[in-house]
Amino acid sequence: MAKAKGPTPQSQDFSAWYLDVIQMAELADYGPVRGTIVVRPYGYALWENIRATLDEMFKATGHQNAYFPLFIPMGFLQKEAQHVEGFSPELAVVTHAGGEELEEPLAVRPTSETIIGYMWSRWIRSWRDLPQLLNQWNNVVRWEMRTRPFLRTSEFLWQEGHTAHATKEEAEEETRRMLGVYVKFATEYAALPVISGLKTEKEKFAGAVYTTTMEAMMRDGRALQSGTSHFLGQNFAKAFDITFQDKDLEEKYVWTTSWGLSWRIIGGIIMTHGDDRGLIFPPKLAPIQVVIVPIYKSETRQEVLEAAATLQAELKAKGIRVHVDDRDQYTPGFKFNDWELKGVPFRIELGPRDVAAKTAVLASRLGGKETLPLGELAAQIPQKLEAFHQALYERARRFRDERTRVVDDYESFKEAVAEGFALAFHCGDIACEKTIQEETKATTRVIPFDAPEESGRCVRCGKPAAYGKRVVFARAY
Amino acid sequence: MAKAKGPTPQSQDFSAWYLDVIQMAELADYGPVRGTIVVRPYGYALWENIRATLDEMFKATGHQNAYFPLFIPMGFLQKEAQHVEGFSPELAVVTHAGGEELEEPLAVRPTSETIIGYMWSRWIRSWRDLPQLLNQWNNVVRWEMRTRPFLRTSEFLWQEGHTAHATKEEAEEETRRMLGVYVKFATEYAALPVISGLKTEKEKFAGAVYTTTMEAMMRDGRALQSGTSHFLGQNFAKAFDITFQDKDLEEKYVWTTSWGLSWRIIGGIIMTHGDDRGLIFPPKLAPIQVVIVPIYKSETRQEVLEAAATLQAELKAKGIRVHVDDRDQYTPGFKFNDWELKGVPFRIELGPRDVAAKTAVLASRLGGKETLPLGELAAQIPQKLEAFHQALYERARRFRDERTRVVDDYESFKEAVAEGFALAFHCGDIACEKTIQEETKATTRVIPFDAPEESGRCVRCGKPAAYGKRVVFARAY
């Protein structure tokens, strides 16, 4: 598995760099079916940490997990007009099963609003059955033309939350609460600075009244939609006849929301933090937070490995995810490169002279080395992981801020979106948004919640601006 | 949601009882597509506990999780002759995707030996790449004619472990090790007494050299195959050309295993432990181990609920999964029935007189009530949960042993399999096994590892017995 050289430099070809690091770090490989990937153990361990973290946050906000079927009768998808328009071009369809042609073809779920709506219409009778606060971790299929590992794959793993409420207010609160959970996760765990806000009509989820989103900037200046939360109003309630008897004894439609975050967040972590040497994983999600590389010759092997094992036990006792790389067939230099490629935040180098002096060298994946007493490592590393997280976040925020420009004319807009985010006014007209996309490849990413109120004229057509504030435009994944 | 009456009694119609408790306890509901189910939060919480327990056991034995794609090119399944014969009648097939007909139809995975074999043929080069110790938690689809919630569903959740080894010995050891993990899980967590051993040729996994299994007895005397571990020899290695360069520099085929346990174990838990009042969940897997039912009138409501909250906090601090049922709209009697239906091991009844006396009534789902000091509950319940587990296991073991008969003639055999397990000699001939199945509906379930060595004559045809021991026959789910 020895690799003679590192990934393609980011500056040379960012896309090639991305594909290189995924393969070389053994996060994932291509599956035999177009657009599918195999997530290998190191990549899956990252996903497990993402899942465990979010799952705890969902449960803390009162949600319960459930499991709804993979196959959805085609007729279900047609019940909500926008929904079918958005998803039918991407459906994978089962036409035969058990050796026979099916009477009604089955869609492989692209998302589960319809089948959950169908079940809710059977389960919900009274206001006492509300709210319904459900989530599921599952696989979905969307047959897209252009695929890229993690970012856009024919099949992907995600979670989809679905809730039903007695009132509009409650459902809108839920929509915002769950976007808030995503933002907290992005900020405090994935070290991704994100801009949260509304999607425009053109960019909203097919079937939503409105969509809230968080958007991150990748190191090539492009945006990544990293999690979305949708207020669905009564669109699905009406399509699936989901009603309840309220306290006032009136029969009413419920109000629903849905919210999802997928393994594309792994793509976001890779492209926000990585560098020419490979991945850099945020410590709270990293499968391995600290790698110990013992440095030995045959006569010092035993004592060094024993010291490494002792240190490993001390770090484990502090809850640190630590690995000892005792592969005899590789040199320390090879191992240093390998774990840098794999994005492990800290490396501990431990040789016979260190063992004798009761010290070790601690090297950060963000640069810098220091020699520390062996006995102090376990006590110091937790705060160093925290500081690493902060530094990673700040670095990404600075990068994003440096590449974000406030623009008022179309030429400056084009320059801005060629390398990052443009904060610009827009008229709100879908046709104008499409023209901008055709001419610059940029789309509206988000109408930020916290942008100052401002008025102005559309950066392209000059008509009065909509939204009462500037909008983030960018080229996006 | 008030249910006027309990489930159909087991003695009246065991199958109706099973379907009733699943619906009434809100474990699952039927999906809109034939043979699919929706697992509701209470059922899914049980599955999460099963998954977390097994996942830890898999990781402790060196396995890593990964994720392989849902869709498998049809050609892959045809590469192993027995495998395609076993699975092709049950396949669901995607023929259209993205609005177009696919050039090669895709099978929705019924199991993943083939796609993992394909990836291994790309990943494995040297003995240093072995063993491969992988597992995945996922959904699979098998289109079966007769379906029943959890036991046989068109789609089901499971885990499938797949390993590749340099030697036959190692692969056989792994096969046994993982069956051992399943047996430990069944015994120590699910409280299921199981008989472990080999499957006959007729009953083995399609593509295996041999299959090991654990079999449990349900309360209607039928058997449930509850987890299987397969030694695949070099069958898939040869079909997918999975070779490695060994230490002796020779190119060799790997030896593979696979092992799986699905949500059918939930069916096993229901049918092993449940009674006419509903479910009885084994404490280590129960979503709720203790339910506190506060008993109050409006004037005592606050003090009783406060005492309940205090007690809940004390139990939680001991790691006990506890729920307070403070639903005002139901009577205590209704709640008692509801939680008995839902199989919660212990109920704590707490009224104003208890609060005044600093006591509470502890009722076991297995029968019996005692009054205990409030301050001692948190300390005593952990050992009571352990004793509950033991009692549940022993009860099931006794039931099974009472319904297991050693038989040497075909008439006694027929009587035995009508109500439980028959321990009988068999000639080992597949045609004879099929005749027995046609005539009695019973199949060979397992050739037990620990049965004494004995010789005799086939219970049906009188030919000399194979296997050197008696075989377990039963009607099976």
The continuous run of DSSP H or E covering B395 comes out as: helix B377-402
CA A441 to the chain's CA centroid: 22
Pairing mode of beta strands A359-364, B37-39: unpaired
Shortest distance, CA B76 to any CA of chain A (angstroms): 10
State which of A243, A273, A303 marks the end of a domain. A273
Helix B430-440 to helix B410-419 angle (10° resolution) is 60
Q: Which of B120, B131, B32 is nearest to B68 (CA)?
A: B120
Q: What per-residue confidence (pLDDT) applies to A2?
A: 45
Under DSSP, is residue B297 helix (H, G, I), strand (E, B) or coil? coil
- Provide CB contacts within 8 A for A21, sequence distance 6+: A7, A27, A270, A274, A278, A279, A341
Q: How far is CA A47 from CA A29, A179, A269, B17, B71, in A?
A: 15, 19, 11, 40, 21
Residue window 156-185, chain A: list those with CB within 8 Å of chain B: 157
Mutation site for A-interface testing, chosen from B94, B128, B328 by largest number of A Cβ within 10 Å: B94
Cα pseudo-dihedral A263, A264, A269, A272, rounded to 10 = 180
**Token pair listed for B29:** 């509901």
Domain assignment present for A361: yes
pLDDT band at B2 (very low <50, low <70, confident <90, very high): very low
Is 0.95 surpassed by the pTM of this model?
yes
Residue window 84-143, chain A: list those with CB within 8 Å of chain B: 88-99, 105-106, 108, 115, 118-119, 122-123, 128-129, 134, 138-139, 141, 143
Round to whole Å and give the CA distance between A115 and A140: 13
Q: Are residues A410 and A439 in the same domain?
A: yes
Q: Which of B120, B98, B198, B127 is nearest to B449 (CA)?
A: B198
Percent of chain A predicted with pLDDT > 90 = 97
Round to whole Å and give the CA distance between B222 and B377: 39
Shortest distance, CA B410 to any CA of chain A (angstroms): 36
Q: Are residues A110 and A237 in the same domain?
A: yes
Q: What per-residue confidence (pLDDT) applies to A4?
A: 54
Residue B322 class from Cβ within 10 Å (0-12 exposed, 13-18 middle, 19+ buried)? Answer: buried
Closest by Cβ to A38, choosing from B47, B69, B329: B69
What residues in B contact A115, CB-CB < 8 Å? Answer: 31-32
- Provide CB contacts within 8 A for A58, sequence distance 6+: A65, A135, A159, A161, A181
Q: Is the pLDDT of residue B3 over 70?
A: no
Q: Are residues B28 and B174 in the same domain?
A: yes
Q: Is B37 on the interface with A (CB under 8 A)?
A: yes
Pairing mode of beta strands B290-294, B251-253: unpaired
Round to whole Å and give the CA distance between A365 and A297: 26
State which of B244, B273, B302 marks the end of a domain. B273
Helical spans, DSSP H, in B74-202:
74-77, 81-87, 113-123, 168-188
Does the distance separating the beta carbons of B66 and A38 come in below 8 Å?
Answer: yes
Q: Is the pLDDT of residue B1 over 50?
A: no
Domain assignment present for B1: no
Q: Which of B399, B277, B266 is nearest to B342 (CA)?
A: B277
Domains of chain A: total: 3
Domain assignment present for A63: yes
Does the distance separating the beta carbons of B141 and A66 come in below 8 Å?
Answer: no
Domain assignment present for A3: no
Q: Are residues A313 and A345 in the same domain?
A: yes
Domain assignment present for A360: yes
What residues in B contact A1, CB-CB < 8 Å? Answer: 128-129
DSSP annotation string for A286-331 = -S-SEEEEE---TTTHHHHHHHHHHHHHHHHHTT--EEE---TTS-
Range of the domain at B410: 406-474
Q: In the block, which residue shows the tokens 């999607």? A: A199
Q: pLDDT tens, B44-93?
A: 999 999 999 999 999 999 999 999 999 999 999 999 888 889 998 999 99
Q: pLDDT tens, B379-430?
A: 999 999 999 999 999 999 999 999 999 999 999 999 999 999 999 999 999 9
pLDDT-flagged residues of chain A (< 50) = 1-3
Q: Are residues A83 and A229 in the same domain?
A: yes
Round to whole Å and give the CA distance between B456 and B463: 9
Mutation site for A-interface testing, chosen from B29, B34, B38 by largest number of A Cβ within 10 Å: B38
Q: Which of B202, B156, B195 is nearest to B179 (CA)?
A: B195
What residues in B contact A316, CB-CB < 8 Å? Answer: none
Does the distance separating the beta carbons of A65 and B134 come in below 8 Å?
Answer: no
Q: pLDDT tens, A15-62?
A: 999 999 999 999 999 999 999 999 999 999 999 999 999 999 999 999
CA A139 to the chain's CA centroid: 15
Q: Are residues B316 and B422 in the same domain?
A: no
Q: Are residues B233 and B110 in the same domain?
A: yes
Does the distance separating the beta carbons of A143 and B98 come in below 8 Å?
Answer: yes
Shortest distance, CA A91 to any CA of chain B (angstroms): 5
Domain at B107, CATH number? 3.30.930.10
Domain assignment present for B462: yes
Shortest distance, CA A143 to any CA of chain B (angstroms): 5
The continuous run of DSSP H or E covering A186 comes out as: helix A168-188
A-B contacts at Cβ under 8 angstroms = 167
Closest by Cβ to A69, choosing from B33, B45, B145: B33
Shortest distance, CA A440 to any CA of chain B (angstroms): 27
Domain assignment present for B440: yes
Q: pLDDT tens, B278-334?
A: 999 999 999 999 999 999 999 999 999 999 999 999 999 999 999 999 999 999 999
Does the distance separating the beta carbons of A73 and B32 come in below 8 Å?
Answer: yes
DSSP annotation string for B230-269 = EEEETHHHHHTT-EEE-TTS-EEE-EEEEEEEETHHHHHH
Q: What per-residue confidence (pLDDT) applies to B270?
A: 98
Q: Is the pLDDT of residue B239 over 60?
A: yes
Q: Are residues B341 and B417 in the same domain?
A: no
Q: What is the mean pLDDT of chain B?
A: 97
Shortest distance, CA A466 to any CA of chain B (angstroms): 35
Q: Are residues B198 and B228 in the same domain?
A: yes
Q: Are residues B41 and B112 in the same domain?
A: yes
Q: What per-residue confidence (pLDDT) applies to B145?
A: 87
For B146, name the nearest residue in chain A, comparing CA atoms only.
Answer: A98
Does the distance separating the beta carbons of A143 and B32 come in below 8 Å?
Answer: no
Shortest distance, CA A65 to any CA of chain B (angstroms): 6
Q: What per-residue confidence (pLDDT) applies to B4?
A: 54
Round to whole Å and give the CA distance between A466 and A445: 15
CA A152 to the chain's CA centroid: 12
State which of A380, A396, A427 marks the end of a domain. A380
Round to whole Å and give the CA distance between B155 and A42: 28
Are B171 and B257 within 8 A, CB to CB?
Answer: yes
